[in-house]
Structure 1
Amino acid sequence: MQITKTLIMSALLAASTASFAHGDEKHAKGAALMKMEQKEWGIGGLPNAVNRTVEIRMTDNMRFTPDLVEVKQGETIKFVHLNNGKVMHEFVLGTKKELDEHAALMKKFPTMEHDEPYMAHVGAGKKGEIVWNFNKVGEFDFACLLPGHYEAGMVGKIKVVAK
């Protein structure tokens, strides 16, 4: 009986806090809704603190253009993602280790629901945006983690240099 109650409560909690799936939904990334959680590769940025905008194009040949972006430590970048393809793509910032782990989960659970401030899911022919503050020096990665895309080489690098 206790296990059943626990499972029901877990399901209710998950349903009440569920985020968006990998669909064409417009993801709310307003400052009031964004989780400001420090990550190894930085923290969500505020739209009114953007230092510059970087446009990233996504194509069905499983490539990002550009696939290398250099940033100065402390810069807040607005990434504008243009999906020039005919299928959904995504842009996920992280470390190689985090992206590898997330890609493995996406293979097991292709409809996995999540929406983080370092991710943009962009439907075919659509545009997406994220704002990110790179407050740590280092080399970080970005990728499309939809099944098959990561494995096909849809990856890129962010190089954050000291001020």
Structure 2
Amino acid sequence: MSLTYQVLTYVGLSFGWFSFFAWKRKERLDHMHTMIIGMSMGMMIGLIAGLLFGAEYKGDLFLSTIWGMLIGGISGMMIGIPLSLLTTVEGTLSGIMAGMMGAMLGEMIPIEKMEPLLFLFVMLHTACILLLSKLIETSERETSKRKRIFTLQNPITPPVLLIGVFVWFQALPFPTMTAENDQMHSQNHTSQPAVQEINLIAADFSYNPNRIVMKKGVPLKMTFQNNGSVEHDFEVVSTGNNFVISSETNNNHQHGNTGIEKPHLHAKPGESATSVWQATKEGTYEFYCTIPGHKENGMVGKLVVM
């Protein structure tokens, strides 16, 4: 399971458990307590979701912001609905604002430096649940020795939970250095920019990968391999002089042009084609298969130039 899904699963399960814990005791909570609960949960989940999707969709701030706002806002709304109308409003707004901030952080922070910040947010989320549970009053029957064994009122539970989250977090599959960071690292030690290599595999009807990240000004050598049963191609949607093609080996579909144009590769089943090109402008571009009907069947992807 990927880093994003593991973290979201933990946050979702812990949020669900705490929400149920708070809802069962809502009669004992005053308005101030319920507002703190709604705002805190909406804010923490919005920050974590925004940060994760900001890193996942780096280069597409709009999409990561929408996901962060959506998850944060829904979380604040869900925990607030059974408590009070004011809590619902405060929790929803807090989640939306936190989702926006988290997405901006995920966009700005280099992917290899995301680990300590995400760790801080996850631990704060866990500590927040533990502290909020102390605000919720429980009856004498619920705090009996027999009942406390499996609840947050047990003094052993908080340290065990925090240590467990810490150990789990260390095992998460964090990327140590992405392809674009490799390129930047190489440029610091050589006078000429290194060549980034990408293998793009076409099937019927999909690309793998369907999201490519490249550095502006750094040559990209793309090998387009057609593993499908019919012919496929690859073309970047671009208007203006945004790409410079330096070389092209494009079997059976040779355009014969170099210089400034759209990157385009074509291959018959079982064949491949290669091209080297550079991006001159940052942005997010769509690429797709130009053969009629293939784009409509899902052969599309994103090229992010940073």
TM score, norm. by length of structure 1: 0.54
Residue 90 (structure 1) aligned with residue 237 (structure 2): no
Going from structure 1 to structure 2, the CA distance change for 1:52 and 1:114 (only over 3 Å counts) comes to closer
Cα RMSD after superposing both structures: 2.3
The residue aligned with 2:203 is 59
Q: 2:292 aligns with which of 136, 144, 147?
A: 147
What is the identity, as a one-letter code, of the residue corresponding to 1:57?
A: I
Work out which of the residue numbers 54, 58, 69 in structure 1 matches 2:212. 69
Overall identity of the aligned pairs, in % = 30
Structure 2: tracts of 5 or more residues without a match: 1-191, 241-252
1:67 and 1:156 in contact (8 A); partners too: yes
| 1:70-122 deviation digits (Å, cap 9, x = unpaired) | 11111110110110111100011123x89xxxxxxxxxxxxxx8725511110
- Could you say which structure has the larger radius of gyration? 2
**Count of residue correspondences:** 98
For CA contacts below 8 A with separation 6 or more, give which structure has more relative contact order: 1
Q: 1:58 Cα deviation (Å)? A: 0.2
**Which residue identity is paired with 2:225?**
L
CA contact (8 A) 1:50 1:131 kept: no
Structure 1 alignment gaps of length 5 or more = 1-47, 99-112
For residues 12-161 of structure 1, the aligned pairs below 5 Å read 51-60=195-204, 62-95=205-238, 115=255, 116=257, 118-161=263-306
Deviations 1:127-146 (A, max 9, x none): 11111101210001211010
Distance 2:218 2:289 in 1: 23
C-alpha distance in 2 between matches for 1:129 and 1:92: 13
| Partners of 1:138 and 1:122 in 2: CA distance | 27
Structure 2 counterpart of 1:68, one-letter code: R
Report the CA distance shift for 1:50/1:94 in structure 2 as closer, same or farther (over 3 A): farther
Would you tell me which structure has more strand in proportion to its own residues? 1
Secondary structure class of the residue paired with 1:120: strand
| Kept in 1: contact 2:224–2:266 (CA 8 A) | no
Do the aligned residues in 2 keep the contact of 1:73 with 1:135 (CA within 8 Å)?
yes
Structure 1 stretches of 4+ with a deviation exceeding 3 A read none
Q: How far 1:49 sits from its partner (Å)?
A: 6.9
Which whole-Å CA distance do the structure 1 matches of 2:254 and 2:294 have between them? 18
Distance 1:147-1:126 versus aligned 2 partners, 3 A rule:
same
